[in-house]
Chains A and B, each alone.
Chain A
């Protein structure tokens, strides 16, 4: 049937007379297409994040710090545990290396410079035991960052598992699981952390002897254990809440009707929909963990010597507040910068990917 052929028209009818209309040409049709690609959730969030200048600045600052703490120890001529005054094992340390001010050299080094050799300067001097302080700060930053990251990942894994099981099954299981969470949540966390750290430091040493964990030291393992025991509860609550609301939606019912097993539904349908919440709260958990680690290290419960962390460096050098204050300020301000930029970046992530949560 051609377009122009119309059934016989009643003169009183309001029916359109197509003969009076012209068909659009291909070029005209093209014009009508709205020139915008469909935007995925991720792209949309990234666009919003990119507009947030503060968050992006912080992200670059963090990337810079991370790259720096990875690269610098590779190229720096001194190591964090090397006592520069001790040239050979068993030798009496050369005390001229202890407590150097920034850019100063020890006695043998000065002799070598006088002989025309070039020696890499000690950017921040050395500490009491003649260890290069700059590399200790770099290494301390590396340790603090990795403690923060790993502790948050532990929290993420346990919290997600617990929260999704509790949220998905609901009913009595949920009730019991959430009561447990309530109780752990109401324990005063910092006090428990201190207590657990005291005990773990004493009990773990024989357990981990000779294994890979011995290298990490009891202090760091006890921090991880404490996070695994206590800090997952808020993550579990968050995930449970998300699961509860997503569970009501039709696509879950469909999956169930098609015979999907609970594990598959949780893994393939529920958790992917929680990813933004998970990423955001992990990002905000990292500064928290760094905070806790530095607090514990400051109390003398953190990483084991000779390993430095920012908190233990600040604590060790507290007594230099009257003479060499830079030794205290450098690690202290590094903690501030890292925690601040992680916080701001996390806030930016939240605003970009989960605008509903915005405070």
Chain B
């Protein structure tokens, strides 16, 4: 398996690099499509000022030169200066915001996976019983709710009506609700995945054998069944991170969390082009890397998977 496995990783890694390269290229050229350049919105810009601004951001050079410069910078995660936040580098702003977003995202992802696995297994073990029904109804409902709606509903219920949590995401307690609203959709999805794969596994012969041998029910569940049922959940980990990252764009806006999403949304509103490009590329890199990791982990967990 080793040689084949290495080849597989290599192939996937190459695809990932191509994807990132494409994202950078697409982002660069389509942002350049916008007529008039980024300083058109300021109405009374003198021609000299405009020329100075263009020179400052390197916009006076030919397009292909700009592109190669941008590409060179992007490799080092240097996305140039922000166009609207005076004197700040895009990378610094991203890193500052990302610290909060990553913390929130990781907690949400870990919570979604853990709770999803627990509830999913519970639903499978109590198949067609009341517990199963309740869990399935809840997860179906959560799958239908976009994260910004979950966020607004939670904000209304728990902050405005009952005042249990602070509505402001700047304190630690205020991060609870953003995390919960990011978590619910991936959790519901994980529940459904775990339940169906667990049902599949629990019906197999080796589980019956284990039970017949007199292995304790909890041990059958955790040691024998869960190990095999977990593989589809791993493939979901990559898309889940992507979902949480994009979801956090709006959730952070709603709860006023000073994270990457807040900067991203405000850069869209302010038309801060370098900021939009930098954030898009940065998030895309994270998503692509996560997808790659989850693919490799999937293969490690389940050697039966065909690599061709």
Interface residues of A (CB under 8 A from B): 182-183, 186-188, 190-192, 194-196, 198-199, 202-203, 206, 287, 291, 294-295, 298-301, 314, 318, 321-322, 325, 328-329, 332, 335-336, 339-340, 343-344, 359
Interface size, B (range): 35 or more
Select one of A295, A329, A343, A344 contacting B146, CB under 8 A.
A295
Complex Cα distance, B140 from A344, in Å, reads: 8
Q: Is B207 at the interface (CB under 8 A from chain A)?
A: no
**CB pair A299 B250 closer than 8 Å:** yes
**CB pair B30 A195 closer than 8 Å:** yes
Whether A203 touches B35, Cβ cut-off 8 Å, given contacts A291-B146, A332-B149, A339-B144, is yes
Complex Cα distance, B141 from A344, in Å, reads: 10
Complex Cα distance, B246 from A199, in Å, reads: 18
**CB pair B250 A191 closer than 8 Å:** no
Complex Cα distance, B246 from A194, in Å, reads: 10
- What are the nearest 4 A-B pairs in CB distance? A340-B144, A190-B246, A188-B287, A339-B144
Q: Is B198 at the interface (CB under 8 A from chain A)?
A: no
Complex Cα distance, B139 from A344, in Å, reads: 12
Whether A336 touches B160, Cβ cut-off 8 Å, given contacts A182-B15, A195-B30, A287-B144, is no
Q: Is B226 at the interface (CB under 8 A from chain A)?
A: no
Contacting residues, chain A, for B143 (C-beta < 8 A): 343
Select one of B33, B141, B155 contacting A321, CB under 8 A.
B155
**CB pair B27 A202 closer than 8 Å:** no
Whether A194 touches B280, Cβ cut-off 8 Å, given contacts A328-B156, A336-B149, is yes
Contacting residues, chain A, for B254 (C-beta < 8 A): 318
Contacting residues, chain A, for B27 (C-beta < 8 A): 195
**CB pair A192 B288 closer than 8 Å:** no
**CB pair B265 A186 closer than 8 Å:** no
For chain B, what secondary structure do more than half of its interface residues adopt (helix, strand, loop), or is it mixed?
Answer: helix
**CB pair A187 B22 closer than 8 Å:** yes
Complex Cα distance, B269 from A300, in Å, reads: 8
Whether A202 touches B34, Cβ cut-off 8 Å, given contacts A186-B288, A343-B143, is yes
Q: Is B268 at the interface (CB under 8 A from chain A)?
A: yes
Contacting residues, chain A, for B140 (C-beta < 8 A): 340, 343-344
A-contact 0/1 string along B143-161, CB 8 Å cutoff = 1111011001101100010
Complex Cα distance, B283 from A340, in Å, reads: 29
**CB pair A321 B160 closer than 8 Å:** yes
For chain A, what secondary structure do more than half of its interface residues adopt (helix, strand, loop), or is it mixed?
Answer: helix
**CB pair B30 A199 closer than 8 Å:** yes
Contacting residues, chain B, for A325 (C-beta < 8 A): 156, 160
**CB pair B34 A199 closer than 8 Å:** yes
Complex Cα distance, B276 from A299, in Å, reads: 13
User: In whole Å, how far is A311's beta carbon from the nearest beta carbon of chain B?
Assistant: 8
Complex Cα distance, B16 from A182, in Å, reads: 11
**CB pair A187 B19 closer than 8 Å:** yes
Q: Is B45 at the interface (CB under 8 A from chain A)?
A: no
**CB pair A301 B268 closer than 8 Å:** yes
Select one of B30, B152, B250, B291 contacting A332, CB under 8 A.
B152
Complex Cα distance, B144 from A332, in Å, reads: 11
Whether A191 touches B287, Cβ cut-off 8 Å, given contacts A332-B152, A344-B140, is yes
Select one of B15, B22, B149, B284 contacting A191, CB under 8 A.
B284
**CB pair A183 B146 closer than 8 Å:** no
7 contacts between A and B (CB under 8 A): A187-B23, A188-B283, A192-B23, A196-B30, A294-B148, A299-B250, A343-B144
Contacting residues, chain B, for A191 (C-beta < 8 A): 23, 246, 280, 283-284, 287
Contacting residues, chain B, for A299 (C-beta < 8 A): 249-250, 265, 268
Contacting residues, chain A, for B297 (C-beta < 8 A): none
Complex Cα distance, B155 from A182, in Å, reads: 39
User: In whole Å, how far is B215's beta carbon from the nearest beta carbon of chain A?
Assistant: 28
Contacting residues, chain A, for B284 (C-beta < 8 A): 187-188, 191
**CB pair A188 B152 closer than 8 Å:** no
**CB pair A186 B291 closer than 8 Å:** yes
User: In whole Å, how far is B178's beta carbon from the nearest beta carbon of chain A?
Assistant: 15
Select one of A188, A294, A321 contacting B242, CB under 8 A.
A188
Complex Cα distance, B24 from A108, in Å, reads: 58
Contacting residues, chain B, for A190 (C-beta < 8 A): 242-243, 246
Which residue of chain B has its CB nearest to the CB of A343? B144
Complex Cα distance, B111 from A355, in Å, reads: 33
| 4 additional contacts (CB under 8 A) given A182-B15, A183-B22 | A199-B33, A295-B250, A299-B265, A299-B268
Q: Is B307 at the interface (CB under 8 A from chain A)?
A: no
User: In whole Å, how far is A122's beta carbon from the nearest beta carbon of chain B?
Assistant: 23
Specify which of A191, A287, A336, A343 lies most central, judged by the most chain B CB atoms within 10 Å of its CB.
Answer: A191
Whether A183 touches B149, Cβ cut-off 8 Å, given contacts A199-B33, A343-B140, A343-B144, is no
Complex Cα distance, B171 from A81, in Å, reads: 41
